[in-house]
Amino acid sequence: MRIQLLFALTLQAGAFALIGSMTSSAQSASTDQAAYQRADALIKQMTLDEKLQLIVSNDPFIDSPGGGAGYVKGIPRLHIPDLNMSDSSTGSGSKNQLSTTFPATIAIAASWDRQLSFDYAAQIAHELRAQGFGMGLGGGTNLARDPRGGRIFEYLGEDPVLAGEMLAQRSLGTQSAHVIATIKHFAGNNQETNRMGGNSQVDERTLRELYLTPFEIAVEQAHPGSVMCSYNRLNGDYACENEHLLTDILKHDWHFEGMVQSDWGATHSTAKAINAGLDEEEGSEPGPTYFNRIDVLFALSSHQITQDRIDDMVRRKLYAMITSGLMDDPPKAGGKIDFEAATAFAQHAEEQSIVLLKNEHAQLPLAASRLRSIAVIGGHADIAVGTGGGSGDTLDPVSGFLTDCGGLQFGLHAGCDWWRTPWLKLAVPIVKAIQELAPDAAVKFGGNGDLDDPYRAYSKQEIDDAAVLAAKSDVAIVVVNQPAGEDFGEQASLGLANPSNQDALVEAVAGANPHTIVILENGNPVLMPWKDRVSAIVEAWFPGEGGGRAIARVLFGKVNPSGKLPLTFPARNEDIPTWGKDGSIAKDPVYAEKLDIGYRWYDAKQIKPMFEFGYGLSYTHFAYSNLVVSNAADHSMTVSFELKNDGPVTGAEIPQVYLGIRDQNEPPKRLVGWSKILLQPGESRKVSISISPRMQSIWSVDENGWKFIPGSHVYVGASSRDIRLQKD
C-alpha cells in the first residue's frame, strides 16, 4: 500500500512550489540558530586533535566495515557518531553489501517529475541507512555540455533549471531519511577527458547562468549538507582551492551553511585549499594527503591558516550532521532492506522515465491478443540490461552482474574492481517480461553475441540469423546498448560503437520485418541511421533492476509513456556544440559556445536535431489553448493556459514554458518552468506556472548580480520546438 501511495503521488508535482510532503527537517532547520549554538558548544569541548579528526576522511576498506567511499571517525565522548559515506547515484555503492540498482539518474531527469526525484532519493537513502551510511554522494548535476560525456547518465541533462529543480528534490529526499546529501561536482567538470587537471575556461556570465545555476537552485531550495568540489581547474585554479568558487560564490553569495568536501584525490594543497573554502579532504590509504595532522599543524603554527578557520570547518561539518538529523539519529549497519519493494519502486521509476521517440502508424502499444510470434534480438535481453559504470553504479547489486568481469577494458579500471561489467542481470529480463504479457505468443530470442566479451561485434552469421528470426515473427524488438561510465572518457562518436555493428543488426532486422521496434539502453544521445526504417523507438536509458517489466509494460500499453528528453539528440556528430573541426576533445576546454549549449545551440544556429530537448510521444494527444500571461509589480510572472487530453487513453503531459529574453547575448529561448499533469480522456485543466524575476534575468558582469530584463517573449509547448502557444 505504501508503494502504491508513493506511485500515486508521483504525478502531482507542481511548477515551482515545493510540495508539503517534500519539506524536510534539514530545510526548516537551516535557519535555526540552535544548530549553530549546538555546534559551537561542541567545538568548545574539543581538543585540537579531535577537530583535525573531523576534517578528513580515511579509507573505508581499512577503517570501517561498510565498504563505502569514505569514513570519518566520530567522537564518542561528545556523542558525535562515526560518518560512513557511500556513492549513491543509482543506488548504494557499498562494495560488500547488497543494494538495489535503480534507473540511471538521467532517466529520472527524463521523467521531469519533481516528486519522483524526491522519492527516488529517499528510497536510496533508506538503503544507505540500513547499510550504516550517513552520507550519500549521488547528487551529480554537471550539465551535458558535450553529449559524448562519459558520466552524463548519472547527471540531470543539459538544462540548468531542469537539473536544478530535480537536484533540489533529490537533496530533500535524501535528507528526509536523515542522510546528508552531497551535490557535485562543483564546478566546470563537464567532461571526463583530462578530468584530473584540465583547465575549464568559462566566462563569468556563462558560469553563473548555466553551470552554477543547478547548484544555486539546490542550495536555495534544499540546503544540502555538503557540496563536493571537482577534480578540474576552473579558470586557472583547481576547483578545490578556488576561492572565487568556494567562498565568494558558494558561501558568500549563496549563503551556503554546510561543508565543502573534496572529490577523492582532488585536494592539491593545505593552506591554499583551506583558505579558499575547502572544509574536508576525502582521502584513502594510508590517509589524507594534505589535511593530515602534521601539515595542518604546521600551517597553523606558521600562521598560514587560523584557528578560527579550523573551527569554521568543523562547525560546518557538525551543522550538516545536526540539520540532516544524522547527529541524533545515526544509521546502524545490518538493517533490513525490503528488496522486493525497492525493485517495485525501481520499476515504477523506469515506467515514468521511458521516452517514446517514434511510433509510426501506431505500432505501439502492442496488442497481445493479435500476436502469435515475437522476436527479441540483441542486448542480452534474455538475461540483462545495460548499466553505467564507475561510482555512478552499484557495486553489489541484488540481481548480480552478467559476468564477473567485462571483456572490455574500461578506462583506468579493468572490470573487476569498482568499475564492473556494464551488464546488470535481471530476475525478470525483457524476454520473460514480454512473455508474461503475451502468454499465447511464441517469444524467441536471438542475436545475443558473446557473454564472455559483451561488446564483441555481432558476427555476420548472428546478424543473418537475427534477420531470419525477425522475418518469421509478427513483430521484432531489437535491444541496443551504448556503454558509458566514469573514467570511460568521451565517446568518439554518438554512434552505437560497442559492438560496432549494432547499426547493421538493426538495419538487417528492419529489412526483414516492417514491424521493428528498437529499445535503447544508454546514458547519452545516440545516432540512428536506421531511424526511418523502423516503426517505433523507445528510449529506456539504463533502466535498473525493474527495467524488464517496465519496458514490457510500456510496449503493451499497461503504462502510457510520459517521459520527455532532458537532452537533445542530434542528427549528426558534426552538429554538436563541442565538435569543432574534427571532433577532438580539448584537454583544457574553452567554453567558446558560451550560453549556447544543448537546445540553445540548435536554436541559435538553426540546426534541426533528430529529437529535440523536451520531446516525447504519448499514446494519447494533448491540446493547448487560452494562453494568459500576467505580470506582477514585483516582476513575477504567471503563465496560464488550458490543457486537454483529447486522445483515447489516460496520460500525463509535461507542458513547458520557455522565455525569449530580450538581450542580444541570450539564446532564442530558455526553459523557465514546467508541470507534469495527469489527465483522463476528454479531461481539461487550467495550468498555471509561476515564473520568478530570477528566471527573467541575466547575469550582469558589470553589476556583479542578476539584472531583470522586462518584456520576455513567452512560449508554451510540448517540447523546445513543438511550441503550441506564444505571446509577446
Q: Are residues 155 and 78 in the same domain?
A: yes
Q: Are residues 625 and 488 in the same domain?
A: no
pLDDT, tens only, 531-570: 999 999 999 999 999 999 999 999 999 999 999 999 999 9
Cα gap 619→557, rounded to integer Å? 8
Nearest one of 621, 540, 150 to 349, comparing CA atoms:
540
pLDDT at residue 399 in the model = 83
pLDDT at residue 190 in the model = 95
Grid cell locating 186: 562543483
Q: Are residues 650 and 550 in the same domain?
A: no
CATH code of the domain covering residue 694 = 2.60.40.10
Q: Are residues 502 and 646 in the same domain?
A: no
703 Cβ partners below 8 Å, 6+ apart?
none
**Number of structural domains in the chain:** 3
Q: Are residues 283 and 412 in the same domain?
A: no
Residue at 598 is within a domain: no
CA angle 213, 723, 692 (to 5 degrees): 35
CATH code of the domain covering residue 530 = 3.40.50.1700
pLDDT at residue 21 in the model = 36
Residue at 721 is within a domain: yes
What is the span of the domain harbouring residue 191?
A: 32-323
Cα gap 324→82, rounded to integer Å? 15
pLDDT, tens only, 84-125: 999 999 999 888 899 999 999 999 999 999 999 999 999 999
Query: Concatenated DSSP letters for 461-506?
Result: HHHHHHHHHHHTSSEEEEEEE---BTTS---S-SS--SSTTHHHHH
Residue at 305 is within a domain: yes
Which value, in Å, is the radius of gyration of the alpha carbons in the chain?
25
pLDDT at residue 288 in the model = 79
Residues of the chain with pLDDT under 50: 1-27, 29-30, 405-417
Q: Are residues 313 and 387 in the same domain?
A: no
Q: Are residues 68 and 198 in the same domain?
A: yes
pLDDT at residue 414 in the model = 36
Domain boundary among 303, 323, 343: 323
Residue at 572 is within a domain: no
Domain boundary among 560, 581, 606: 560
pLDDT at residue 488 in the model = 73
CATH code of the domain covering residue 96 = 3.20.20.300
pLDDT at residue 256 in the model = 97
Residue at 595 is within a domain: no
Catalytic annotation on 596?
no
pLDDT at residue 37 in the model = 93
The predicted model scores a pTM of 0.94
Q: Are residues 184 and 253 in the same domain?
A: yes
Residue at 158 is within a domain: yes
pLDDT at residue 149 in the model = 94
**556 phi, psi to nearest 5 deg:** -100, 10
Q: Are residues 459 and 505 in the same domain?
A: yes
Residue at 27 is within a domain: no
Q: Are residues 154 and 270 in the same domain?
A: yes
Catalytic residue (one of 263, 396, 503, 596): 263
Q: Are residues 440 and 316 in the same domain?
A: no
pLDDT at residue 14 in the model = 35
Q: Are residues 376 and 512 in the same domain?
A: yes
Nearest one of 693, 726, 691 to 710, comparing CA atoms:
693
Residue at 528 is within a domain: yes
